[in-house]
Amino acid sequence: MPELSLVAEVAGEIVGYILFTRAVIRQEVREHETLVLAPVVVAPDFQRKGIGGGSLKKQPLGFKSVLLLGAPNLSSVWLPVGRNVRDCDRLRIASR
């Protein structure tokens, strides 16, 4: 599946990187196209300056959901950028 990666630059230097990968959620007879997000990386000297959150606001058009891979505490990244965070276990979403 094709990936979509975005970089954040400051003065011509790459200081951040995020990778979205297309995925499909299958629910009985329906399919829902989504994105999976991992990783979100920001250089240490540029962390906590809005670079990661700013990159997340650039979610590709046409996708209604993004699954965030990582530790549960990483979901706090979504809240400041206006995302609705739900646990995949509660939604019964699992990978195979």
End-to-end CA distance of the chain: 16
Task: Express as a percent the part of the chain with pLDDT over 90.
Answer: 12
Q: What pLDDT does residue 81 have? A: 53
Cβ atoms of 18 and 4 closer than 8 Å: no
pLDDT band at 54 (very low <50, low <70, confident <90, very high): confident
Q: Across the chain, what does the average pLDDT equal?
A: 76
Q: What pLDDT does residue 9 have? A: 92
Q: What pLDDT does residue 84 have? A: 63
What is the pTM for the complete model shown? 0.65
Greater model confidence, 90 or 14: 14
What are the residue ranges spanned by the domains of the chain?
Answer: 3-81
Q: Is the pLDDT of residue 44 over 90?
A: yes
Q: What pLDDT does residue 55 have? A: 66
DSSP codes of every residue in 33-81: EEEEEEEEEE-GGGTTSSHHHHHHTTPPTT-S-EEEPS-GGGGGGTGGG
The residues, ordered by sequence, that sit 6+ positions from 5 with a Cβ below 8 Å of its Cβ are 17, 18, 19, 20
pLDDT band at 11 (very low <50, low <70, confident <90, very high): very high
In CATH terms, 3-81 corresponds, of 3.40.50.720, 3.40.30.10, 3.40.50.11030, 3.40.630.30, to 3.40.630.30
